[in-house]
Structure 1
Amino acid sequence: MEIFTKIIENVSLWEVVLLLVILYFMFKPDMINRISKFKVGEFEIELRELKEQVQQGHERITELESEIENNKKQFQSIINNFDANASLESLNEVKHKIKAQSKNLNDDLFLQEHLKTTATPEELYAAAVGIREKRPVKLLPDLISLLDELSRDENLGGYRLNTIWTLTSAVHKMLISCVRDDVNPFPSKELLVKAEIVLQQLDKNPKVILDNPNDPMRGIKGPIKHSLNWIAKAKEKTSA
């Protein structure tokens, strides 16, 4: 679906209609032999021209598929070539690469695949950074479910605190997108209640309590508090 979304974002309305016609003939090639002309609004298309459009449609879809796969490979290449336990300075360099490459990812399912406790430290960190950057709100349920699992473990699944901070900050960013910027899908009341419980649970995790004890708001407790504030605003919006 991301292929067609990318095409539609870059063409005019009549071109979208034409594209639908082209796609129709791509899947029903026998129909193209029954006509000599096709009319779309004020545009009358000769059969030869339509055949050319069909061929161009094939080529464009192939090109987009190749582009999407190439972007995934580049993102995966970053994951394969860094150490999630490296110094924060080294991670900062990697973070910029991940953020830049995540903008090219049209398939959010690629990030979703790494939102699980079986992900490597590198996979989860890259997914966290990518999601925090892109804010794909449809992945909020997956993110909350993952944090639920992690928060129940005293060792937070063995992942670095910086990764947990990034995941929690991603929740904060996505809530802002939903509540302030009206990005859909808006979280359901059930999801908001679950998110609130999970964040309060995470707040009580032993490792979170010890994260930056002299300035807790600079640790994981910071994005937890911000997220809870935006959950309250989201609840108000659903009740209005």
Structure 2
Amino acid sequence: MLKLEGVTVRYGATIAMNEVSMQVKDGEFVTLIGSNGAGKSTTLRAISGLEPVVSGRIIFDGDEIQNGSTQSIIAKGIAHCPEGRRVFPHLTVHENLQMGAYQRFDRQGIRKDTEKMLNMFPRLRERLKQPAGTLSGGEQQMLAIARAMMSRPRLIMFDEPSLGLAPNFVEQVFRLISEIQEAGTTVLLVEQNAYAALELCDRSYLLSSGRVVLDGSAEEMRANPEIRKIYLGG
């Protein structure tokens, strides 16, 4: 479904991604783990067209998408739930959901999907007419996920969805992401909590200094002594 071949991204003289190669198969749950500054978020931003690719290829369903517009990449079936949630704070919950479907014109389908999201996230139904900026952090994360799902993505990317959330919300968010994948949407997750990430996923890539330094199944990664020592607390 998604393949990166030798992708390099620079921020001025700094190399943020250094010839990164990886793939995500249809229906998989794949995670990117690593320390801060390893290039995890940059990888998602490059896939979404938010960061220019200096060299290499990003291929989705056989088409090269590197340096494509974000709108065209969303239209192909990729959604990005960014770090920090980034809901539209002055718009209501309902208006935020509609913004997720801004490239769609099937009004009946949009109404149906809105109801589906409100069933999946009952807290949002209770706050449908509230400005999104008045929601708690956990509720905003739920809204960000629901908004991304409104585009009907085939691949959804999550960037640090547990960041800054209370423990009870973290558990809910991870459960919801698992349900999304189990329902048929492919998931690519960036998560600082390596323990949780490796409990959820099928496969994982470890990034360090902009490079992929290790990859394997979740079981293989959990059993790796170096990962256990550095990322899993022994």
TM-score of the superposed pair, with normalisation by structure 1 = 0.28
Of structures 1 and 2, the one with the larger relative CO (CA 8 A, separation 6+) is 2
TM-score, with structure 2 as normaliser: 0.29
Choose between structure 1 and 2: higher helix proportion: 1
Higher strand share: 2
Which entry has the higher C-alpha Rg, 1 or 2?
1
